[in-house]
Amino acid sequence: MKKRLSRVVRQAHVLFAAEHFSRRVALYFHDLVPEYVGAFRDAVATFLELGYATVDPSEYAQDASDASRKLFVSFDDNYRSWFEALEIFDDLGIQCTFYVNTCPFRDVASRSTIDAYFDRIRYTGDRTPLSRSELRAISDAGHNIGCHTHTHFRLSGLPKEKWFEEIDSCKALLEDIVGHGVSDFSFPFGMRRHFSAPLRRYCRDLGFRTIATAIPAQLYAPHVDPFFIHRTGWKFDRPYTENLQNLKLDARMFGAAFGRSAIG
């Protein structure tokens, strides 16, 4: 969507923003470089102070009949900065979920593979991915590890023969590293048009318990499909207040009609 149109769509939703946050708030981030650590702390602390507790994907997806306030903090892709932030997570007392691409582990991948990976996700910051032992340390610290495919291709554009190497192999590699089952998935790019009903069946048959999307402003949806977790991205380059406001928007109708983000 064009930038100006995006702003107009977002503003239209702001007019009808909810007064209070939903009882379940699912966020996603990407890298966590030092300059954004303060903003990350502020984002998470806002919800902790309101009585939210961080949960893993299964707990988040459970029936909404209980009145507890749940915060799902997740990260996508593959960045060494996650490992460097372990003390920060510890200090905040939060459990996070990391959806990991397995092709760029830096103790295995060549520089050209790593660069092709970061080109694909258009990341121009510090291009240092995790090593496998750093991922194991993140898992050992009590965080949850999920699958984000092997190479971060758009799954809806791939022939079915490629699903195995993108999804099954990512899952198997992660399970080998962390030493236990991996049963949560987030698909690359995260919008409805990047996934499909056959892919959903495939993932379910493979044993995934939850699938996280990047479809924002769906937090007020009634709890009808515990398989999907709709997450809203926190944008470090945008003001804190704008990010908080995004979490009070309800773009279910817009998202269903246009398959695109209502918050730009």
Residues forming contacts to Zn ion in the complex (CB under 5 A) are 76-77, 188
Give Cα separations from 112 to 5, 25, 119, 145, 245 (angstroms).
37, 37, 10, 25, 40
Please state, in angstroms and rounded to a whole number, the distance separating the CA atoms of residues 194 and 156: 5
* Closer residue to Zn ion in complex, CB, 52/232: 232
CA dihedral 187, 190, 194, 196 (to 10 degrees): 70
Shortest Å distance, C-beta 121 to Zn ion: 6
Around Cβ 35, how many Cβ atoms within 10 Å? 9
> DSSP 3-state assignment of 88?
helix
Nearest distance from C-beta of residue 118 to Zn ion, angstroms: 11
- CB closer to Zn ion out of 77 and 166: 77
CB 26 within 8 A of CB 76: no
CB closer to Zn ion, 213 vs 246: 213
Please name which of 245, 261, 259 lies closest in space to residue 14, comparing C-alpha atoms. 245
Shortest Å, Cβ 64 to Zn ion: 27
- For 80, the 3-state DSSP assignment is helix
Which residues does residue 186 pair with via DSSP β-bridges, in sequence order? 212
Q: In this chain, which residue has its C-beta nearest to Zn ion? A: 76
Nearer to Zn ion, 68 or 196 (CB): 196
In the complex, the smallest distance separating the C-beta of residue 8 from Zn ion, rounded to whole angstroms, is 27
In the complex with Zn ion, the residue whose CB is nearer, 146 or 255, is 146
Instruction: Give the whole-angstrom CA distance, residue 221 versus residue 78.
Output: 30
Query: In terms of CB distance, is 62 or 113 closer to Zn ion?
Result: 113
CB of 152 to Zn ion, least distance (A): 6
Q: What is the DSSP letter of 168?
A: I
Q: How far is the CB of 195 from Zn ion (least distance, A)?
A: 13
